[in-house]
Amino acid sequence: MIITLVTDFGSPYVGIVKGVIKTIVPNVDIIEISSDIPPFDIKSGAFVLYSSYKFFPKETIHVAVVDPGVGSERKAIAIKTKNYYFIGPDNGILIPAAKDDGIIEIREIKVSLPYVSSTFHGRDIFAPAAAFLAKERNFEKIGNKINNFNDLEFFKIIHKDNIECEIVFIDRFGNLVLSIEEKDIDLSNCKLLLEKDNKLYELKYVKTYAYANKGELIILKGSSNFYEISIREGSAKDFLKVSVGDKIKLKVM
């Protein structure tokens, strides 16, 4: 049995979450997918979960917590999908992944540690809920069924030759993952223009980094089928000075 974690917690908070889980269910395997989502960046968290969840065994419990609303009235939810369970705040972070796998049922989490703090529901609610589910394997007992939830969609408008999208993730290489996928539009072997701050940049489509020259600005299909803007052995992030959430305009030539 595996519980994964996608959070913006950093240390020592992720370690504490693991301690809480192991105290309740000692034999579970805990895998950090990410503990360094940019602080409060729900969209990055949603993307990371969406691009990772399906590489884990069926029945894996995915916990994703990027939670600027902690301690307010936002709900804590658990989602059963076709192959997985998802646990996190009701702010949209779970939704792209859950929809992709096929939502079966959503419940409002009632499980928690005896004392619940105002600032660390990762420890006090989400970890115990995941551990409870790993231990009991009874989704009904996690709380009451609900029908409404806060949705989250990645921004994209695709006209014939004009694309508006957003940066949903930046990896440690400085690659910019865009909100458009191969299934939205086929960019293979296209030349593109990127417009930013009234400047135009040419983007060459390549199959992989090795087909670009060092320092060249390229676009390619990333490993999750999302398009990425990249510089071979350089950082597109530093070159273009952009952040997650920035809108991107592309023109197909």
How far is the C-alpha of 195 from the C-alpha of 184, rounded, in Å?
20
Q: How far is the CB of 110 from a copy of itself (least distance, A)?
A: 20
Does 145 participate in binding a copy of itself (rule CB under 8 A)? no
Nearest to 199 by CA among 241, 146, 148, 140: 241
Closer CB to a copy of itself, 120 or 149, in the complex: 120
In the set 202, 233, 238, 246, which binds a copy of itself (CB under 8 A)? 233
In the set 155, 201, 209, 239, which binds a copy of itself (CB under 8 A)? 209
Does 139 participate in binding a copy of itself (rule CB under 8 A)? no
Q: How far is the CB of 144 from a copy of itself (least distance, A)?
A: 23
Residues 6+ apart with CB under 8 A from 114: none
Closer CB to a copy of itself, 114 or 160, in the complex: 114
Residues 6+ apart with CB under 8 A from 229: 175, 176, 178, 194, 203, 217, 218, 219, 236, 240, 248
Closer CB to a copy of itself, 199 or 214, in the complex: 214
In the set 3, 43, 52, 205, which binds a copy of itself (CB under 8 A)? 52
Does 102 participate in binding a copy of itself (rule CB under 8 A)? no
Closer CB to a copy of itself, 100 or 164, in the complex: 100
| Owner of token pair 């009991």 | 136
Q: Provide the CB-side half-sphere exposure for 100 (13 A, CA).
A: 17
Contact 73, 90 (CB under 8 A): no
